[in-house]
Structure 1
Amino acid sequence: MPILGRERTVVTDETWFTAPFSDGKWKVHVELPDQYPYKSPSIGFVNRIFHPNIDELSGSVCLDVINQTWSPMFDMINIFEVFLPQLLRYPNPTDPLNGEAAALLMREPRSYDARVKEYVHQYATNIHDAADEEEGETDGELSEIEDFNSDGEDEPAGKLEDV
């Protein structure tokens, strides 16, 4: 199964993230560009999240954050087990997409944590989407991650000189 041009929405497990995000289930949309793995994927949160480096309305993760850490050696498991947990654990308020979250984190960290928990309760608990049911996806399934992993049968992402 080729991975080129693939996109997928995955529901995270609560254990992947630390407080104050840990009580939520997050729907994360990942889109792989044609130049993947040489070019980083586009990553966005489907449900609303309060974080300095994530746009509150669109859910887009700051491209600078992704591109600064991206390596062609990474696979999709790295996104969900390393990159996203670190992004949530160590927000960068000096390069924000959400200025309100950045200002609150810098000035009143406890108020920031309280606002994050409020968003978790409001937008990331008991999430349910009828469209997912139609596709056979449930909130507890994470099998889509495997679709992105190379098992030796996937087509190559492209030659470096094509990038």
Structure 2
Amino acid sequence: MSSPRRRIETDVMKLMSDYEVTLVNDNMQEFYVRFKGPTETPFEGGTWKIHVELPDQYPYKSPSIGFVNRIFHPNIDELSGSVCLDVINQTWSPMFDMINIFEVFLPQLLRYPNPTDPLNGEAAAMMIKDPKNYEVKVKEYVQKYAGKDAADEAGAESSDDDDMSSVGSFGDDEDEQPAGRLDDV
């Protein structure tokens, strides 16, 4: 069992050298990464907080990733932040690592959306029928939900930095407020 654990540590440490990574409860299998929109796209200038969970079988089983702050994109569910990306969902390989996700897969997804396989039907339809307005709406979302401080504030009402455990485990403490839903963000 030490091999997958070592691989997780190696991949997360590599990611930390290039990205701002916040571990949840000092656990290398659950963390947040600050991700910036690729240049020369309508997502440029945006910063997203990406929630990452690595399964025990990583790298043989793909990581689970999701956008915490909102984004308007055909292949990303606006409320849950789920990502529809074949390379993560179907064609994942142990040869890939976390850096591939943040340097290749996510930038490619934002650069080249696939409106024929949508998780956000409104974004897909708008991208096909009215590309100019699609771009305007993407930029509005970037300004509104992915501005300079938005990634820090995303999900803040469900936890604070001292106690991020409420994000991952609901109901640990009966007196605790229920964690905020993503659509409250």
TM-score between the two structures when normalised by the length of structure 1 = 0.73
**Cα shift at 1:63:** 5.3
Who is 1:57 aligned against?
A: 79
Q: 1:52 & 1:59 partners in 2: Cα distance?
A: 11
The answer to whether the 8 A contact 1:18-1:85 is kept is: no
Q: Which runs of 4+ in 1 moved over 6 A?
A: none
One-letter amino acid of the counterpart of residue 45, structure 2: D
Q: Does 1:117 align with 2:153?
A: no
Aligned residues: 135
Q: Does 1:6 align with 2:29?
A: yes
One-letter amino acid of the counterpart of residue 47, structure 1: N
After superposition, the Cα gap between the structure-2 partners of 1:90 and 1:68, relative to the gap in structure 1 and judged at 3 Å, is farther
The answer to whether the 8 A contact 2:36-2:45 is kept is: no
One-letter amino acid of the counterpart of residue 108, structure 1: D
Task: Name the % identity.
Answer: 70
Q: Does 1:29 align with 2:44?
A: no
Instruction: Specify which structure has the bigger relative contact order, considering alpha-carbon pairs within 8 angstroms and separated by 6 or more residues.
Output: 1
Q: Which has the higher strand share?
A: 2
Q: Deviations over 1:130-153 (max 9, x none)?
A: 556447xxxxxxxxxxxxxxxxxx
**Cα shift at 1:120:** 0.2
Q: 1:24 & 1:60 partners in 2: Cα distance?
A: 18
Q: Deviations over 1:39-91 (max 9, x none)?
A: 11111000000001100000010154523442210111111000000010111
One-letter amino acid of the counterpart of residue 123, structure 2: A
Q: 2:39 & 2:108 partners in 1: Cα distance?
A: 8
The answer to whether the 8 A contact 1:6-1:33 is kept is: yes
Q: Does 1:80 align with 2:108?
A: no
Who is 1:160 aligned against?
A: none
**Cα shift at 1:115:** 0.4
After superposition, the Cα gap between the structure-2 partners of 1:133 and 1:40, relative to the gap in structure 1 and judged at 3 Å, is same
Q: 2:86 & 2:36 partners in 1: Cα distance?
A: 25
CA RMSD after TM alignment: 2.4
**Cα shift at 1:26:** 0.8
Unaligned runs of 5+ in 2: 10-27, 164-185
The answer to whether the 8 A contact 1:49-1:56 is kept is: yes
3-state SS in 1 of match to 2:50: strand
After superposition, the Cα gap between the structure-2 partners of 1:53 and 1:96, relative to the gap in structure 1 and judged at 3 Å, is same
